[in-house]
Amino acid sequence: MNSAILALEDGTVFEGRSFGASAERSGEVVFNTALTGYQEVFTDPSYTGQIVILTNPQIGNYGTSSQDDEAARPYIEGLVVREFSSMASNWRSDAEAGHFLDRAGIPVISDLDTRALVRHLRTRGVMRGVLSSTDSDGPRLVEKARAIPSMAGLDLASRVSTEEPYEWTHGVDACSPSEGVGRAREPRFHVVAYDYGIKRNILRRLVQTGCRVTVVPSLTSAEDVLALAPDGVFLSNGPGDPEPLTAQVANIRKLIGKKPIFGICLGHQLLGLALGGKTYKLKFGHRGANHPVRNDRTGRVEITSHNHGFAVDPDSLNLSQVELTHVNLNDQTLEGFRHREYPVFCVQYHPEAAPGPHDSHYLFDEFVTLMSGQ
């Protein structure tokens, strides 16, 4: 088995075994603590520009299934795991995880101490790195890592967004036989969804709750969106720093008060900027499927799925205009807010939960309620 190296910008070098593609990739090195759902992580556009460490000790054991893709291809730059399985044991699997990543040109490094690596990043913060199965010179890879652009200031949403509008019609019932969900409701509302790196399960959830969905590019003007006569506007998740997305923020600002708006993750951050707030970069981000979030409107605690490296500063928001609705119980960061006058709300976490628990599916029903005018 060939060897691979992960080199960080601070000079730390980890050696391991190579799986996936024989390649060299670079990016911000981050970690995700979810126990399952690695394929959904691979194919989440929000991971553009990032090398992902998965903390569950064994990855790849249930293979991959085309029904579980969150996008048309994997978006991670590289994968770091403790143990990578070359076998797939799952009746739904149609490809081994190693072959799945190999086809996409994504390298995997296995057999290293992921606990030590994650503790290092928690202490020092996420940092730039290079994962290579083609170059064994650690010091040279460290220098390459130091030359990578920082995630702060990067507009990656425009890079991953769809180039043309399209209709989405598939509900959760069409792709998740193991979930045992009922049939999608008859479509009552037309939703225009901005694609900043949208996950398919968000689109499935919108359809499941009775929406006809039109997905549009991230730079679609507010005027063009309104010309589609939507009942509501959805702002999607996506990668990178929200602050460079000035054109997207300007369009959202024009839509506030015109139509009900629901934002998730990057959509939450962009909505915060549109309302005059500020965002900041977290030390090591939130990526996992068991983050406790308190809904301050109900007092209920939800176990939620997360994938973000930036957050909205609650002190920068005008509280006479905005109600803070959700808070992260791990570190007290802002997880959701809504407008006091207009039908506009958002959350930082992922209520569609792919992977993750289903505690927050109710938010899609709340969006439908707003569109019905209740």
Domains, the chain, with CATH or none: 3-146 (3.50.30.20), 157-371 (3.40.50.880)
Residues 343 and 260: beta-carbon distance below 8 Å: yes
The confidence score (pLDDT) of residue 172 equals 84
The confidence score (pLDDT) of residue 63 equals 96
- Side chain identity at 103, as an amino acid letter? R
pLDDT digits (tens, 9 = 90+) for 19-47: 999 999 999 999 999 999 999 999 999 99
- Reduced DSSP (H G I as helix, E B as strand, rest coil) percent helix, strand, coil of the chain, to 5: 25, 30, 45
Q: Is pLDDT above 70 for 323? A: yes
Q: Is pLDDT above 80 for 182? A: no
Give Rg (Cα) of the chain: 20
Question: Residue 20's Cα: distance from chain center in Å?
Answer: 22
Q: How confident is the model at residue 18 (pLDDT cuts 50, 70, 90)?
A: very high
The confidence score (pLDDT) of residue 179 equals 53
The confidence score (pLDDT) of residue 373 equals 86
Q: At what angle do helices 200-208 and 362-371 cross, to 10 degrees?
A: 60
Q: How confident is the model at residue 269 (pLDDT cuts 50, 70, 90)?
A: very high
Residues 143 and 128: beta-carbon distance below 8 Å: no
Of 268, 286, 326, 350, the catalytic one is 350
Active-site annotation holds for 350: yes
Q: Is pLDDT above 80 for 349? A: yes
Q: Is pLDDT above 70 for 267? A: yes
Of 9, 77, 243, 352, the catalytic one is 352
Quick check: helix, strand or coil at residue 211?
strand
Mean pLDDT of 338-350: 98
The confidence score (pLDDT) of residue 347 equals 98
Active-site annotation holds for 265: yes
The confidence score (pLDDT) of residue 319 equals 97
Active-site annotation holds for 352: yes
Of 70, 265, 268, 308, the catalytic one is 265
Mean pLDDT of 6-22: 97
Of 144, 146, 246, 248, nearest to 197 (Cα)?
A: 248
Rounded to the nearest integer, the mean pLDDT of the chain is 95
Of 109, 154, 122, 125, nearest to 7 (Cα)?
A: 109
- CA of 321: how far to CAs of 246, 250, 253, 344, in Å? 21, 18, 14, 11
Cα 233 from Cα 7, distance rounded (Å): 42
Q: At what angle do helices 246-255 and 266-274 cross, to 10 degrees?
A: 70
